[in-house]
Chains A and B, each alone.
Chain A
């Protein structure tokens, strides 16, 4: 257990009758980049807030950096960093003002504070904007600055709650580069996202859906388990009709597949029996494309299983 930066057992949080987080278990090893995935409203933020001691769990336990989160102390808070989903910097203050405030809040003063501020400014590439009020900065820079502010005190563990929401793809890539750098220096990172391409960069991921942890493991493990085989993609003229048709074909056993998903104008068919499926599809739709299943395929499959178990409630938007 001491190797774990985070160790969660049966963690539960209820708001009235509503169960936001339902007895989840998972662990994050020290130095790991752990991706915490799930649609909006599935319980990601609630879990993070419990792990930070901002919310008391209704049931279950969690240890973060060896501290029982029911008794989160200031010493504990000083060792973690947090970049919240909401905008966490003071928009009317300048870059330097913000960093100075963050630094001092974590007990950095004098030389050390100066050093760390310079480090963060360089990290975010804001050397020329030290005295710019940050409401004048654009999205990607702000994101990096917010990350920099969250790690100014060199925390052992950082929580990033949807850090890249609303940021353009190039900035997102840069941001992840930063995360790897951090991780290599030994920092444990727990990051939530709903971008599946980002999730594949994580060492391990956990899927949370409607408050339930429906899968935990490395990305390849999960794909292997949930969507074994390959993806065959077809581009029918009417994708929706095709999806319905293929689904009934699959259910009747006519099509040897275990998943038919709509992807924009394309339909993905998951199968282990590549040859026969490909033949079947080619006959109906002409050209097919073959690829490896992605985490997204796995997540859709997992969600369908969960919904099926729950009597088919739809995925919340």
Chain B
């Protein structure tokens, strides 16, 4: 039994070694993609172009404009003479935020008469606009406190709601995306390898030969799964290493726990890959299937966007996608130091999905020559 499994795994590894395309593309591609995403998500949303209409031209209005420009988020791009000009700029996407300071602003603010500043935002850039609005309101408030009451933030901070952020104190997007991305890379690579395992034999005509050899179905499946498992595990370690050491995402929980769960998770995904492999006639079909499934997984998993923001039906469906559980686990262990006592439902779900796939795979393996 063990000998048979090792024989198949040995042969599969030989195939991988001879393939000059798959391994380089995925390893280099994976590292490149991870780096690109690390870079992109490491960038705060800043230097959002702002256009200003200053109808007041007072020291106070200039001070406000300077304060807005001084923030990282906003950059004073242009000063224009009318609101219509702001609309023009927006249409050409040259401005995301417009600030209109009314006539008499300076006098009113010093007198404590609460002038009104008009903010115009470009909804076509919703993400930037949201950020710009928030920053502008905050700065306008502080500037007002300064001009009207000569108060600095320290003087009134205690009268504002206090906000504490936990686990990802600076709300770095990379801390959310990178563990997911590295998980995604090692997962998709493993599934592709697994999905090629049987479709390759079928395409080359060696499948029948394999079927008449005295193997148990389970031996072939396990052997075929072992090689991608080995590759997947090393890829997991490499990607985790990059994420933690190169991109600085903290690892607060137990590594051993994560590694063990990672193996379970890989096994579930692998069975899915082998199943797809059995279901497709050519390697190409298998790869397309994996591609479609990867998109579905990416979407259902909370890979990019939190599952909580999705419609309820999709949230329910997402429970059947192993990567969703994996992402909860990896983020939990890395950022929140969560242990098995909290994660067990997700671990159980991964196991259950894996067992279901394995059962279907084993029952399909021989039958499928008909």
Q: Which residues of A contact B (CB under 8 A)?
A: 49, 52, 54-56, 74-75, 77-78, 80, 82, 84, 86-93, 97, 101-102, 104-107, 109, 133
A90 touches B204 (CB 8 A): yes
| B14 CB contacts on chain A under 8 angstroms | 92-93, 97
| B370 CB contacts on chain A under 8 angstroms | 55-56
Known: A92-B18, A133-B18. A105 touches B7 (CB 8 A): yes
Taking the nearest CB of chain A, how far is it from the CB of B55, in angstroms?
Answer: 75
| A109 CB contacts on chain B under 8 angstroms | 3
A105 touches B214 (CB 8 A): yes
- Residue on B nearest A52 in the bound complex, by CB: B212
Q: Count of B residues near A, CB < 8 Å?
A: 22
A87–B211 Cα distance when bound, in Å, is 14
Which residue of B3, B206, B208 contacts A90 across the interface (Cβ within 8 Å)?
B206
16 contacts between A and B (CB under 8 A): A52-B212, A55-B370, A74-B216, A78-B214, A80-B212, A84-B205, A84-B209, A86-B208, A87-B206, A88-B209, A90-B11, A93-B18, A104-B3, A105-B214, A107-B214, A109-B3
Most buried by A among B205, B206, B208, B216: B208
A90 touches B214 (CB 8 A): no
Taking the nearest CB of chain A, how far is it from the CB of B66, in angstroms?
Answer: 67
- Judged by DSSP, the binding face of B is helix
Taking the nearest CB of chain A, how far is it from the CB of B218, in angstroms?
Answer: 12
Asked whether any CB of chain A lies closer than 8 Å to the CB of B118, the reply is no
Apart from A55-B370, A102-B213: 4 A-B pairs, beta carbons within 8 A: A80-B212, A87-B205, A101-B11, A104-B3
The 4 closest A-B pairs by CB, nearest first: A86-B205, A74-B214, A78-B214, A104-B7
A107–B215 Cα distance when bound, in Å, is 10
Taking the nearest CB of chain B, how far is it from the CB of A48, in angstroms?
Answer: 10
B147-170 interface code vs A (CB 8 A; 1 in, 0 out): 000000000000000000000000
B121-147 interface code vs A (CB 8 A; 1 in, 0 out): 000000000000000000000000000
A105 touches B208 (CB 8 A): no
A77 touches B206 (CB 8 A): no
Q: Which residues of B contact A (CB under 8 A)?
A: 3-4, 7, 10-11, 14-15, 18-19, 204-206, 208-209, 211-216, 369-370
Most buried by B among A74, A80, A90: A90
B209 touches A92 (CB 8 A): no
Known: A82-B212, A92-B18, A92-B19. A54 touches B206 (CB 8 A): no
A86–B369 Cα distance when bound, in Å, is 14
A90–B210 Cα distance when bound, in Å, is 11
Which residue of A77, A89, A101, A133 contacts B212 across the interface (Cβ within 8 Å)?
A77
Taking the nearest CB of chain A, how far is it from the CB of B294, in angstroms?
Answer: 26
A76–B62 Cα distance when bound, in Å, is 92
Known: A84-B205, A88-B208, A89-B206. A101 touches B7 (CB 8 A): yes
A91 touches B204 (CB 8 A): yes
A55–B3 Cα distance when bound, in Å, is 27
- Residue on A nearest B207 in the bound complex, by CB: A86
Which residue of B15, B204, B214 contacts A106 across the interface (Cβ within 8 Å)?
B214
A80–B213 Cα distance when bound, in Å, is 9
A97–B13 Cα distance when bound, in Å, is 12
A75 touches B3 (CB 8 A): no
A88 touches B215 (CB 8 A): no
A159–B369 Cα distance when bound, in Å, is 18
A55–B213 Cα distance when bound, in Å, is 15
